[in-house]
Amino acid sequence: MAYDTKWEPEGIYRHHSGFVTGREMIESAKQTQSDPRFDEMRYVIDDFTGITGHDLSIDAFTYLAASNYGAHASNPNCRLVYVTTDTNLVKIIRGTLMSPDLVSYEVEVKPTLSEARDWLDSLPRKHEISSVMGFIPW
């Protein structure tokens, strides 16, 4: 798998290409979550429209859900959107990351990057954590 990561002012855009493995997808998420900029991010867009295939499984996304749960403690204001038209991948994402038993972040799946960005733009801003006053509006 190859992926290009672009840090944007309020989040990250990651374009995946080639054959995507579960291990590589998890590593890309861990790299993002361990970056100091992660705590201030508002979104992550994972774009799978350029892939040629994948072995992404329920197990890989369940592991990712657990990792997201921990990352949520550091940044509860992030949202995740996956861009794909692969019906099997959509089903796996909805069955894991969007499952009431595994959900931490607000997650959506969209068929195009434009629709993903429109979804993010339609959402109200969350709040910034202040160590002095609790939550303050952005």
| pLDDT averaged per 10 residues in sequence order, the chain, 138 residues | 90 96 94 94 96 96 94 93 97 95 94 98 72 50
Rounded to 5 degrees, φ, ψ at 27 are -65, -40
The C-alpha torsion from 53 through 109 and 115 to 76, rounded to 10°, is -120
Rounded-to-integer distance, Cα 84 and Cα 81, Å: 10
Q: Which residues of 50-86 are buried (b: 16+ CB within 10 A; e: fewer)?
A: ebeebebeeebbbbbbeebeebeeebebbbbbbbbeb
Report the CATH superfamily, name and number, of domain 2-137: STAS domain (3.30.750.24)
pTM: 0.88
